């Protein structure tokens, strides 16, 4: 570890993720990466979220890593949130999101108190904690932004903002090319996020996030150079900003316990799942999951179930229903019994990384959350892309138009919220996409081979001497130089 080098003073970093699994999981991996390179890593979170990290921290500490957790009370009562509502996954009504963000903003002062008390050398804070740049500035320490997404997203958003190509388009379905980008990327007006087109209640926050990124020290990106080189170069050279691509951060999890215990407690025993997968041929199983937050309505879930019944491939399906739906009421009669041997259904939470890495997995139907997408890339599997909300449509465009390792299905409409109300893909469309992806057609073979190649590049990037490893090393060296002299 670098801390053993007497020339190096041990750096102390704060890591403050947004309280949502898609943000906490990768930020936690990042904190552990810093700790593994000799940095003292303090993870900041709220009482109800601490349990997400505790076991893994315990394991890391036993291995000698200097990693700990600092808890800040979340002011639920002050903003009228129910007690314990400290994670975006607990916010199930759009109205309460404003209260959640208000409570989040109230953490600025307590964070500054932690700066005062512990004098860290830098902070990595989620993009939604936009005020962290100002707070870090008061203590003359660098603030890094973590968006939880990729370089492609940054570049597309930048070009949409600069050139506003959607303004001349009247139809929601007519395609246009996003100007300025390294590749020909086609979008429709309906895919463009709402805040670009009209004034929304979130526009002020979007602007604050943008400003805080520009004023920050730079951006840490869970991606690797070889995945999207043209966009990494565009971000640095055309947009003129600083970024370190240090991913895929999920690959830092080497032992099966770390791979299995990410985020929530899995609904099934991981050994049971692995045994089930062991009984299948290589590349023969489709893994279906729509992330940690989104919930599909029963009518849409029924369409998926009907498609799965018809098609011939084995599958693992992680089901998350809307909160008020009666469990399993949407499934066709005797579905689970009929699918025995062919399909494994997991309710709510699965050990995703462990499943994806299993050699029997041959495809991934995903909502294109960036973590899932990148975990699919690492596993070397092609994808059926079914974006549901936020930046997922951009991630779909990266997979289908740049990497060319995926087939689209589902909605082409940008959505802010994570509960779907409509049926965006019917049984026949879903069945066709599965057969196309998992089958033996030329297109499928080509996607499979590209996906395998990317998986190999992802692993290389994080090895000693790989692009992400090297960028991370140069960041650590820069931080050593930057840090204030001891007083």
Compute the least distance from the CB of residue 264 to ligand UDP, in Å. 7
- The C-alpha atoms of residue 361 and residue 357 are separated, in whole angstroms, by 7
Compute the least distance from the CB of residue 353 to ligand UDP, in Å. 6
Compute the least distance from the CB of residue 369 to ligand UDP, in Å. 2
Compute the least distance from the CB of residue 465 to ligand UDP, in Å. 26
Compute the least distance from the CB of residue 382 to ligand UDP, in Å. 17
- The C-alpha atoms of residue 461 and residue 308 are separated, in whole angstroms, by 36
Active site residue 23: yes
The active-site residue out of 23, 130, 158, 358 is: 23
Active site residue 358: no
- The C-alpha atoms of residue 408 and residue 393 are separated, in whole angstroms, by 10
Compute the least distance from the CB of residue 178 to ligand UDP, in Å. 22
Q: Which residue number is nearest to ligand UDP in terms of Cβ? A: 22
Query: Nearer Cβ to ligand UDP, position 180 or 263?
Result: 263
Query: Nearer Cβ to ligand UDP, position 350 or 399?
Result: 350
Count the neighbouring beta carbons within 10 Å of the beta carbon of residue 116. 10
- Interface positions with ligand UDP (CB under 6 A): 21-22, 25, 262-263, 289, 291-294, 318, 349-350, 352-353, 369-372, 375
Query: Nearer Cβ to ligand UDP, position 141 or 378?
Result: 378
Q: In 456-475, which positions are buried (b, 16+ CB within 10 angstroms) versus exposed (e)? A: ebbeebbeeebbbbebbeeb
The active-site residue out of 60, 66, 121, 126 is: 126
Query: Nearer Cβ to ligand UDP, position 21 or 414?
Result: 21
Query: Nearer Cβ to ligand UDP, position 99 or 350?
Result: 350
Compute the least distance from the CB of residue 352 to ligand UDP, in Å. 3
Query: Nearer Cβ to ligand UDP, position 13 or 369?
Result: 369
Query: Nearer Cβ to ligand UDP, position 262 or 448?
Result: 262
Return the HEC string of the chain.
CHHHCCCCCCCEEEEECCCCHHHHHHHHHHHHHHHHCCCEEEEEECHHHCHHHHHHHHHHHHCCCCEEEEECCCCHHHHCCCCCCCCHHHCCCCCHHHHHHHHHHCCHHHHHHHHHHHCCCEEEEECCCCCHHHHHHHCCCCEEEECCCCHHHHHHHHHHHHHCHHHHCCCCCCEEECCCCCCCCEEEHHHCCHHHHCCCCCHHHHHHHHHHHHHCCEEEECCCHHHCHHHHHHHHHHCCCCEEECCCHHHHCCCHHHHHCCCCCCCCCHHHHHHHHHCCCCCCEEEEECCCCCEECHHHHHHHHHHHHHCCCEEEEEECECCCCCCCCCCCCCHHHHCCCCEEEEECCCCHHHHHCCCCEEEEEECCCHHHHHHHHHHCCCEEECCCCCCHHHHHHHHHHHHCCEEECCCCCCCCCCECCCCCCCHHHHHHHHHHHHCCCHHHHHHHHHHHHHHHHHHHHHCCCCHHHHHHHHHHHHHHHHCCCCC
Compute the least distance from the CB of residue 43 to ligand UDP, in Å. 16
Query: Nearer Cβ to ligand UDP, position 352 or 468?
Result: 352
Active site members: 23, 126
């Amino acid at each position: 570890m670098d801390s053993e080098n007497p020339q190096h003073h041990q750096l102390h970093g704060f890591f403050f993720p947004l309280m949502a699994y898609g943000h906490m999981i990768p930020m936690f991996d990042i904190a552990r990466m810093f700790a593994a390179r000799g940095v003292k890593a303090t993870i900041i979170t709220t009482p109800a979220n601490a349990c997400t990290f505790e076991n893994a921290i315990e394991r890391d500490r036993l291995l000698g890593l200097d990693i700990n957790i600092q808890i800040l009370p979340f002011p639920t009562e002050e903003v009228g949130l129910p007690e314990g509502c400290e994670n975006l996954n607990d916010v199930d009504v759009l109205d309460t999101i404003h209260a959640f963000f208000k409570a989040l903003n109230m953490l600025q002062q307590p964070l500054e108190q932690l700066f005062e008390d512990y004098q860290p050398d830098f902070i990595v804070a989620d993009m939604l904690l936009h005020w962290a740049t100002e707070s870090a500035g008061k203590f003359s320490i660098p603030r890094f932004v973590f968006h939880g997404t990729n370089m492609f997203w940054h570049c597309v958003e930048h070009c949409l903002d600069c050139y506003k190509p959607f303004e001349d388009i009247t139809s929601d379905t007519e395609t246009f090319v996003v100007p300025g980008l390294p590749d020909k990327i086609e979008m429709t007006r309906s895919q463009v996020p709402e805040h670009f087109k009209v004034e929304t209640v979130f526009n002020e926050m979007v602007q604050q996030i943008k400003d805080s990124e520009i004023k920050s020290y730079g951006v840490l990106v869970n991606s690797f150079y070889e995945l999207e080189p043209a966009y990494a170069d565009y971000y640095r050279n055309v947009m003129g900003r600083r970024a370190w691509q240090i991913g895929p951060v999920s690959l830092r999890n080497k032992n099966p316990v770390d791979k299995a215990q990410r985020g929530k407690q899995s609904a099934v025993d991981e050994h049971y799942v692995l045994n089930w997968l062991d009984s299948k041929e290589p590349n023969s199983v489709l893994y279906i999951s729509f992330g940690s937050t989104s919930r599909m309505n029963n009518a849409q879930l029924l369409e998926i179930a009907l498609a799965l019944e018809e098609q011939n491939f084995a599958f693992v399906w992680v089901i998350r229903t809307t909160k008020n739906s009666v469990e399993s009421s949407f499934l066709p009669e005797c579905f689970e019994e009929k699918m025995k041997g062919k399909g494994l259904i997991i309710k709510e939470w699965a050990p995703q990384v462990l499943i994806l890495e299993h050699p029997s997995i041959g495809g991934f139907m995903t909502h294109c959350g960036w973590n899932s997408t990148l975990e699919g890339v690492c596993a070397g599997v092609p994808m059926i892309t079914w974006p549901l909300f936020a930046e997922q449509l951009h991630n779909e465009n990266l997979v289908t138009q740049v990497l060319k390792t995926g087939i689209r299905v589902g909605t082409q409409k940008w959505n802010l919220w994570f509960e779907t109300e409509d049926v965006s893909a019917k049984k026949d469309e879903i069945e066709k996409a599965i057969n196309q992806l998992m089958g033996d057609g030329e297109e499928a073979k080509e996607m499979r081979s590209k996906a395998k190649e990317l998986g190999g590049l992802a692993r290389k990037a994080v090895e000693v001497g790989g692009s992400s490893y090297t960028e991370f090393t140069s960041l650590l060296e820069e931080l050593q130089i930057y840090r204030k002299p001891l007083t």
